[in-house]
A and B are shown apart, each in its own frame.
Chain A
Amino acid sequence: DAKTTQPNSMESNEEEPVHLPCNHSTISGTDYIHWYRQLPSQGPEYVIHGLTSNVNNRMASLAIAEDRKSSTLILHRATLRDAAVYYCILRENSGGSNYKLTFGKGTLLTVNP
């Protein structure tokens, strides 16, 4: 599986935007970029995904570099409830990979009141 690199931890203040970076220099043409987060004592939760274009949904925005070797998850106004571990995952969109998700260590986001 193609590898992603994320900072171990980041800190933000409540109601401020947060930009969580992810590097994936070995991404292939069929890899989708997925983001999940895991709140304390809960299972992972799907946040957003994209292929080439920037994506927005009710939870976050995903900005994808033109060469696709990096991406940024954007939380527009962080709340205390956004404190979690955020995982950036490349999911190969082909039958051979069976569409599985391989989790790394993720980024622990702390939100200060």
Chain B
Amino acid sequence: DARVTQTPRHKVTEMGQEVTMRCQPILGHNTVFWYRQTMMQGLELLAYFRNRAPLDDSGMPKDRFSAEMPDATLATLKIQPSEPRDSAVYFCASGLVKAGDYGYTFGSGTRLTVV
């Protein structure tokens, strides 16, 4: 089965450092999502792209988070500077949105710990 690949799987960093998380969506999928999961808030949608264009990033703290898709095979989520409250599991998902309705495929996540 095709997979969404996220790197790194785990990241421990110090407060104030820059963190970059990467996602390789499934080839041919035209929509990419970034989610964050914490015990308190559950799964929150941060941002998403269609055909590499950002559609909505209203779920992200604008001052420190940024999401990009430099090409169709790579999506990035960057935090600068990182804070302890950013500790969470970050998931990327991709899907093919067109006529009809389909499910999305999620990656295994990046577990971020900011100390």
Contacts and interface: CB of A to CB of B under 8 A. Distances in A.
Interface of A: 32, 34, 36, 42-47, 49, 51, 91, 93, 98-105
Interface residues of B, number: 23
Interface of A, secondary structure class, is loop
A51 B101 contact: yes
B103 interface: yes
Interface string B37-72: 000001101001010000110000000000000000
Interface of B: 4, 31, 33, 35, 42-43, 45, 48, 50, 55-56, 91, 93, 95, 97, 101, 103-109
B44 to A, nearest CB: 8
Given A42-B108, A44-B91, A103 B43 contact: yes
A100 B44 CA distance: 11
5 contacts: A43-B109, A51-B101, A98-B48, A99-B31, A100-B56
Nearest to A105: B42
A101 B56 CA distance: 13
Contacts of A104: 42
A101 B45 contact: yes
A102 B42 CA distance: 11
A49 B43 contact: no
B11 to A, nearest CB: 16
B26 to A, nearest CB: 12
A102 B45 contact: yes
Contacts of B109: 42-43
